[in-house]
Each structure stands twice: as structure tokens, then as C-alpha cells.
């Protein structure tokens, strides 16, 4: 089935089977490998993208359900220069193996968009759907706090 998607500000036309997920389409059809497949059950958040600015698990989001909404992937965040969030994550030691990192960047980008100064509890709640196996989360939280001046 033909499908037209707005991805990172560009209209893309492609073919996708009826049950194809947004993740399948991004990685396999559009070659956008920054969004990762970690579980295909909506548990780990490594596949997080923004749909109209809202974080969703693309592994369980039907590609044909996107419609005219705007999809933003990690490739659309800091494409030219790293965003302040991305820089803060690097400086805070929030990146280890990095496989979860795109998902966290997407979720946290959405958080900072609606709440520029979240406190620690709010940050942790917002990333409860993003699993990191390497960092233990503290330095990821630190990155956002350093950026936003929020409270621990």
C-alpha cells in the first residue's frame, strides 16, 4: 500500500504493508537508522519518535495511521548543530553505549518543549518509558537539570 509521510520536515512517498509499523518504515524504507528496535513490544522506548511533537513508541505505531501528522526522528534533532540537550547529555556523561540515547533525546526534547524547568521527579516520570541499561539514569537526569536549572 502506498503511503506518504512527513518525516523531519520532508514529504516521503513509499510502499508499506498494511500492518507495517512506523519503525519498520523509518529504518527499512527510509534508511533512518537512528531510531532503534529494542523490543517491538512498546516496553523499552529505544524506538521513540515524535508525532506532532508528542513522544510515541514507533515499534507499535501503525505506519498507515500517521496520516498528515509530522514525524520527527533523531535525525531531525540537531541535524546541523547538536541541540543544547544533546550537548548537555554529552557533558554530563549521559551517553554510554548510546543505543537508548536517540529515544531519550526524543522524549526529553518533548519534555523540555512543554516544561523548560522540570524538577528531578518530573524528569524521571517522563522517561519511565525509556530503558537505559548502562547509565542507571542519574547522569541523564543531571543533563536535563544542568540545562534547565531545575531542582533535584
CA nearest to 35, candidates 53, 11, 55:
55
Q: Report how far residue 21's alpha carbon sits from residue 94's, in angstroms, rounded to the nearest whole number.
A: 29
Among 36, 112, 144, 148, binds other proteins (CB under 8 A): 36
Q: How many residues sit close enough to other proteins to count as binding (CB under 8 A)?
A: 74
Is the CB of residue 152 less than 8 Å from the CB of residue 120? yes
Closer residue to other proteins, CB minimum distance, 14 or 82: 82
Is the CB of residue 111 less than 8 Å from the CB of residue 118? yes
By CB under 8 A, is residue 125 in contact with other proteins?
A: yes
Closer residue to other proteins, CB minimum distance, 97 or 116: 97
By CB under 8 A, is residue 139 in contact with other proteins?
A: yes
Pick out residues in 43-82 that bind other proteins (CB under 8 A): 43-46, 48, 54-57, 59-62, 64-65, 67, 73-75, 77-79, 82
Q: Report how far residue 38's alpha carbon sits from residue 59's, in angstroms, rounded to the nearest whole number.
A: 9
Give the residue carrying C-alpha cell 554530563: 92
Among 42, 115, 119, 146, binds other proteins (CB under 8 A): 42
Amino acid at each position: 500500500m502506498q503511503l506518504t509521510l512527513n518525516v523531519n520536515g520532508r514529504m516521503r512517498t513509499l510502499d508499506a504493508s498494511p500492518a507495517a509499523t512506523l519503525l519498520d518504515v523509518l529504518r527499512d524504507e527510509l534508511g533512518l537508522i537512528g531510531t532503534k528496535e529494542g523490543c517491538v513490544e512498546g516496553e523499552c522506548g529505544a524506538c521513540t519518535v515524535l508525532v506532532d511533537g508528542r513522544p510515541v513508541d514507533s515499534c507499535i505505531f501503525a505506519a498507515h495511521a500517521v496520516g498528515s501528522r509530522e514525524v520527527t526522528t533523531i535525525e531531525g534533532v540537531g541535524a546541523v548543530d547538536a541541540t543544547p540537550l544533546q550537548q548537555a547529555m554529552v557533558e554530563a556523561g549521559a551517553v554510554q553505549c548510546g543505543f537508548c540515547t536517540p529515544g531519550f533525546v526524543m522524549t526529553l526534547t518533548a519534555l523540555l518543549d512543554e516544561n523548560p524547568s522540570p524538577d528531578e521527579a518530573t524528569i524521571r516520570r517522563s522517561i519511565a518509558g525509556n530503558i537505559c541499561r548502562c547509565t542507571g539514569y542519574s547522569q541523564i537526569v543531571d543533563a536535563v537539570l544542568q540545562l534547565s536549572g531545575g531542582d533535584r
